[in-house]
Amino acid sequence: MLWVLVFSVAINLLLLILPFYSIQVFDRVITSGSIETLVGLTALAVVALGFSACFDILRGRLLGRFAVGFEQLLAPLVLKASITDPARRSEAGTHDMVRVRELRNILSSGTAATLIDAPFLPAFIAVLYLIHPWYGLIALAGSLLLVVLAVVSGRVARAELAQASGTALRTQRTLDGIVRHANLVRAMGWTQGAIREFFRLNDATLVPVVKANERVALIASFARLVRIVLQVAAIGVGAWLVLQNEVLSGSMMASAILISRTLAPMEHLVAGLRTLTSARDAWVHVRDAAASALMSQRRTLLPPPLGALDVSGVTFRNPNARRAALAGISFRCAPASVVVVIGPTGAGKSTLLRMIAALDRPTAGAIRLDGASLDHWDPDQLGRYVGYLPQDVELLGGTVAEAIAGFDETATDEDVVAAARQANAHRMILALPNGYETEIGRDGSKLSGGQRQRIGLARALFGKRKLILLDEPNSNLDPDGEEALCAAIREAKANGMTLVIVTHRPRLFTVADLILFLRDGVQVAFGPPGEVLPQTMAGATPMRHSRPVANESAKSDIIEGRR
């Protein structure tokens, strides 16, 4: 940016060649009739303008590289904030990474160069004043008028953005939903209705945009008219001053050129202020996201966990809900235990699993892994020991092998195959058209529901996991798939992994060491299957404070932090 400023100074100084060339031609060449002087002045002017063009090219390249560096510097911080902060990955607004690209495009565009040239305006006004005060007053009056027009244009642009932003987001969400669920829309006979709904929302979005564009264009046209009228006024005033013998004829042309050069950046800013207003709003979001990432504290890396899980008085309340999704959930399990969470729909089972995965924070209470609160773990370190399979299996696009390994840069083929074998998915994967190199499509769209779940289980088991969280892992499985899942759970337990599984199907009760029964966000029962399952049939009253563990020796192991 320092070199950009240096080249900008040189460019603007060299642009003074044109008015001084005009003065010399009219006041020296024409009066003397010297062809040699004309040729010499013209050659010097061409060389100077050539240097100005070269500096302009270099400045453009530097701005382009600065814009790329800007994105490379901020994009990792913004993406980190989007991953770690749930509010920044909300569907309610434009993604911050889109705003980073918007700023990069503006920095590398002519608008940035115009902004850099704008501070040189007082220098040109001073030069005009030195030629004659009247020229300086004309330029000053024109600049002030263009500033007023720029302010009006900016308010119109901001009003348009505020009015159109809400409907634009609804339109985009509707469009994304139609495209993502195109097969459903077609099967249900909603094609024409979906088209009509999209265009209804799109029309509501376009109305304020079109109105604002028309108003901004009107203001920009008026600004252009102001600049041209002031050039004419400069020529007229210059002619009058020449007749009054106050200036020479060359100053008349020089003043017209200088006034045009002085007001041109202001005119461009009036026309492009809508873009600058949008850029300012984008910068506010990007700055906050980068600050959020920079302020995140590095946490001390803890020893690898054994898998002892302690949920103590956990309550979770959504601000928009009337009642708490979870209230006072408390249980413990020793390492290498299998806890099955059951309960009717809406009991809070998936919410509990998300909090154990550190995706949501409890409103009250604490969740500890090997005695350390989840907040005390470094997020990346914790993620390497926790395997999570959500209810809606989310597979990253690419091949089957890439879906299992994720973004683990140290993953080997042996690790991928080992995870698939542990999930009893190896044979199923080999039966695919290209085996582990089969393309799964967006979100695994080319796979069946059961295939996605088994590959998702392999991903959850991949690496050195100690705590496995499975949300309805058998919802899309046939009896053979369920048997393979049970075998995978037994093997994971034998390998020292602790598993917390949410399910509605009784097949997984056979592999459970402990069962947690929830109803309406309240803990009804927790303990061995033989004790809890009869209570589910009898509709037992809630037991908020019971905290049994698998056995007394396991309890002492948890207290002392070792198995």
Q: Indicate whether 13 and 36 sit together in one domain.
A: yes
pLDDT at 87: 63
Q: Note down the domain range covering 376.
A: 309-394+460-560
Which pLDDT tens digit goes with each residue over 284-324? 888 888 887 788 777 788 898 999 999 999 999 887 777 88
Q: Which of 295, 319, 349 is the last residue of a domain?
A: 295
Q: What is the mean pLDDT of the segment spanning 223-250?
A: 82
Asked if 469 and 357 count as a contact pair (C-beta separation under 8 A), the reply is: yes
Residue 94's pLDDT is 63
- Shared domain for 288 and 317, answered yes or no, is no
**Last residue of one domain, picked from the residues 236, 269, 295:** 295
Q: What is the predicted pLDDT for the residue at 526?
A: 92
231 and 366 in a common domain: no
Burial of 238 (0-12, 13-18, 19+ CB in 10 A): buried
The number of distinct structural domains making up the chain is 2
Query: Of the candidates 260, 295, 330, which is a domain's last residue?
Result: 295
Give a yes or no: residue 343 inside a domain. Answer: yes
What is the reported pLDDT for 548? 41
* 381 plus 243 within the same structural domain: no
| Mean local confidence (pLDDT), 42-46 | 90
Q: Are 363 and 316 in contact (CB under 8 A)?
A: yes
Is residue 454 domain-resident?
no
369 found inside a domain: yes
Same-domain pairing of 248 and 364? no
Residue 532 has pLDDT above 90, yes or no: no
- Cβ contacts of 198 within 8 Å, gap of 6 or more: 171, 174, 175, 178
Q: What is the per-residue pLDDT across 342-384, written as a single tens digit (0 to 9) for each?
A: 988 888 899 999 999 988 889 899 999 999 999 888 888 888 8
Residue that the structure tokens 């309805």 belong to: 472
Residue 421 lies in a domain: no
Judging by DSSP bridges, how do beta strands 364-369 and 309-316 pair with one another?
antiparallel
Question: For residue 447, is it within any domain?
Answer: no
Do residues 225 and 370 both lie within one domain? no
- In this structure, the answer to whether residues 334 and 286 fall within a common structural domain is no
Per-residue pLDDT of 389-439, as tens digits, reads 998 887 887 899 999 998 888 888 999 999 999 988 999 999 999 999 999
| 304 within a domain of the structure (yes/no) | no
- Whole-number pLDDT of residue 449: 85
Q: What is residue 164's predicted lDDT score, i.e. its pLDDT?
A: 65
Q: How confident is the model at residue 157 (pLDDT cuts 50, 70, 90)?
A: low
Mean pLDDT across the stretch 43-47? 91
Burial 197-215 (b: 16+ CB within 10 A, else e): eeeebbebbbebbeebeeb
Whether residue 286 is found in the same domain as residue 176: yes
How many whole angstroms separate alpha carbon 15 and alpha carbon 127?
Answer: 12
pLDDT one-digit tens code per residue, 433-487: 999 999 988 778 888 888 888 899 999 999 889 999 999 998 888 888 888 899 9
Q: Are 45 and 17 in contact (CB under 8 A)?
A: yes
| CATH code of the domain containing 186 | 1.20.1560.10
Q: What is the pTM of this model?
A: 0.70
Residue type, 284: V
Indicate whether 422 belongs to any domain.
no
Look over the chain and give the mean of its residue pLDDT values, rounded to a whole number: 83
Q: Are residue 209 and residue 313 in the same domain, yes or no?
A: no
Same domain, yes or no: 479 and 538: yes
Q: Report the CATH number that the domain containing residue 464 is assigned in CATH.
A: 3.40.50.300
Do residue 211 and residue 272 come from a single domain? yes
Q: What is the pLDDT of residue 89?
A: 58
Please indicate, yes or no, if residue 348 is contained in any of the structural domains: yes
Q: What is the pLDDT of residue 556?
A: 37
Question: Do 482 and 474 meet the contact criterion of CB atoms below 8 Å apart?
Answer: yes
Residues 245 and 330 in one domain: no
Poorest-confidence range of 49-53, 90-94, 498-502?
Answer: 90-94
Who has greater pLDDT, 156 or 195? 195
